[in-house]
Amino acid sequence: MPSLRDIRNRIGSVKSTRQITKAMKMVSAAKLRRAQDAILKTRPYAQLLEQTLARVAARAAADEVVAHPLLAPRVQHTAEVVVITSDRGLAGGFNSNIARRTQRFLVENTDRFERVQLATVGRKGRDFFRARKVEVRKDFTGVNAALTYEKAEDLAREYTERYLSGEVDAVFLAYNEFKSAISQKPVVFQLLPIETAPGADASGAAIDFKYEPSREGLLRDLLPRHVAMQVWRALLESAASEHGARMSAMESATKNAEEMIASLTLQYNRARQAYVTKELMEIVSGAEALK
C-alpha cells in the first residue's frame, strides 16, 4: 500500500498536469477563434473569385474552357499528395488521422498512377512518414508557423508550374476539413487538374462585359488564383482543425486529471483515516497496559 506521502505527491503531480492541460485548452480555444475568423474573412474574396470565374467561363465556349491546361485532365502517370499536418502534437487524432487517410489513399490509388509522391506541410507529417521509411519528396516547413496568403500562393505556384511542365499529372491536398470545434474530417482533395470546372453563372451570363486583355487572358490569370485560394483554404481549415482537435484533447485530459485527483484524494483520506485509527489504537492499548 502506498504511503501517505506517496499519494500526496501523486496528487500534486496530477494537479500540475491538470493545470497545464487546462492552460493549453484555453490557449487553443483562443487560437481556434482566430483561425475560424480567418476562414470567415476569406469568404468574400473566394465567393467573388468563383463568381468572376463563372462569368468569364460562361461566355467561353465549352471546349474553349476545357482546353485550358489547368482544367484538362490528361493521362495521369505521376501524382503528388501534399499532406497538411501540424508542427506540434498533443492534438488528439489530428495528425494520425490525416496520415492514415493518406496511406489509405496511396493504397487505393496504386492502380491509377504509376507513381505517387508525397510532400508534407508541418513537422508531424514529415516525421510520421520518415519513421515509416516512406520517401517525402519535399517538406514545406515553416508554412504553419506564420500562415500568410503569400505562402499559399508560393505553394500553389510551385505546383502549377510543375503541373504545366509535365512533372506531375495530378496534385492532391490531404488535410483535415474543419467541421466544428469538436469534429474534423480528413479529406483528400484534387487540386490539379482543376476538377470542378467553374459552372456557368446565369446572372453573369446575361451581362455583356467588355474584357481586357481578353477573356482567355483573364481566364489564364484567374485560374492560378483559384488554385492558390484552394491551397489557402486548406491551410486555414487545417489550422482551425488543429486548434479544435487540441482543445478537445486537452478538455478530456483535464477531465481525466480531475477524476484521477478525486480518486486519489479518496484513497488519501482513507489511508489517513486508517493511520489515525492505528495511532489511536496504539495509544489506547499502551494506556491499557499501564493499568
Partner 1 sequence: MALTLDIVTPERRVLSVAADEVRAPGVAGGFGIRLNHEPFMTALEPGRLTYVEGGREHHYAVGGGFLQVADNRVIVLADTAEAAADIDVERAKRAFDEAQDRLLRLTEQDGHYAEESARVRRAAARLSVAGR
Output the nine-digit C-alpha cell for 110: 496504386
Greatest CA separation found in the chain? Answer: 116
Question: Which positions touch partner 1 (CB under 8 A)?
Answer: 38, 41-42, 44-46, 48-49, 52, 55-56, 148-149, 152-153, 157, 161, 207-213, 217-218, 221-222, 225, 228-229, 232
Integer Cα distance of 291 and 287 in angstroms: 7
Query: Which residue's CB is nearer to partner 1, number 185 or number 225?
Result: 225
Strand order in the sheet with 115-121: 138-140, 115-121, 78-84, 170-180, 183-192
Q: How far is the CB of 86 from partner 1 (least distance, A)?
A: 21
Q: How far is the CB of 239 from partner 1 (least distance, A)?
A: 14
Output the nine-digit C-alpha cell for 169: 499529372
SS3 (DSSP) at 82: strand
- Is residue 257 within 8 Å of residue 18, measured between CB atoms? yes
Query: Which residue's CB is nearer to partner 1, number 131 or number 202?
Result: 202
Query: Which residue's CB is nearer to partner 1, number 38 or number 187?
Result: 38
Q: How far is the CB of 153 from partner 1 (least distance, A)?
A: 8
Q: Where do we find the cell 487524432?
A: 93
Q: How far is the CB of 168 from partner 1 (least distance, A)?
A: 16
Going by C-alpha positions, the residue among 145, 77, 63 that lies closest to residue 115 is: 77
What's the DSSP call for residue 79? E
Query: Which residue's CB is nearer to partner 1, number 63 or number 212?
Result: 212
Query: Which residue's CB is nearer to partner 1, number 218 or number 250?
Result: 218
Q: How far is the CB of 160 from partner 1 (least distance, A)?
A: 12
